[in-house]
Amino acid sequence: MKWMDEASLSEMTIKFKSSNDDISCEGGIKTRFLILMAVLMAIGSAAADESYGSKVLPYDADESRALSAFSSAPVFAYSDANMRGIFDISDPVYIDVDPSDDVVNENDVRLTPFGSYPAGSQVRLGDQDYGYKLKPFGINGMPGAQLVYFDVDGDGAYSIVDPVYLDVGPEYGRIDAGDVRITGYMTLQAGSRVRDSDPDNDKPAPVLPGLLCFMNLNGNINSGGWAIYDQGDRIYVDTQYPFYTVTVNDIRLFI
């Protein structure tokens, strides 16, 4: 990346398109460039300890390691914590690794915090939310959920600086209040929920092509030859070819 000195930046006039109006910024004070730098610093800090929501960077320890497919595809689901019968911002969101049971079960992954359990934690037997009823997105009249990204650098492609979200509707193709941050954005952490006043609210968000895979740390397999996902295994958003291999820009969904 070619860096600009302060004199070069001061000569720039950049129009940055916000959700409500155009902001013309002399001197580059609030420009896309500075937003880009903030996102880069957040990514670098998160990736240093392979935290939840961090992206794989070149030469990370897990780059090029093998990933396994789930024997049955996991789904995104939520627990109706306040019993309102609708999905709202207080409801915790999960990766349901066994959709056949429709409850929070061992080794499901929390995409948002619940009580003292952080985003990215695996559910264990006896946890407070163990056994809670789950409602998958996209069935029984519920809006679907899909992974999307905000094209921060405007290059028309998913890249290392682009934050990723779980878009839970009802308006698809834009980031809305209630969507879940899969990666952090500026000072807003992975696992947090988008609110109306947030700087990433109402930004365009194309679909991120990718799939959920896991690193089979203990090597367990079943009689059919499928890798067994269990306690301690690590889920990734596998974003690009070669699939089933940890590559740069994949996303860690574990702590």
Average the pLDDT over 30-59 and give the result.
64
Structure confidence at residue 139 (pLDDT): 79
28 band by pLDDT with thresholds 50, 70 and 90: very low
Structure confidence at residue 32 (pLDDT): 54
Average the pLDDT over 132-154 and give the result.
89
pLDDT digits (tens, 9 = 90+) for 182-209: 999 999 999 999 999 999 999 999 999 8
Compute how many other C-beta atoms are within 10 angstroms of the C-beta atom of residue 218.
Answer: 10
Compute how many other C-beta atoms are within 10 angstroms of the C-beta atom of residue 181.
Answer: 25
More confident residue, 97 or 5: 97
Structure confidence at residue 169 (pLDDT): 83
Backbone angles phi, psi at 31, to 5 degrees: -110, 165
Structure confidence at residue 35 (pLDDT): 54
8 band by pLDDT with thresholds 50, 70 and 90: very low
pTM equals: 0.81
**Tokens (6 digits) for 103:** 């409850």
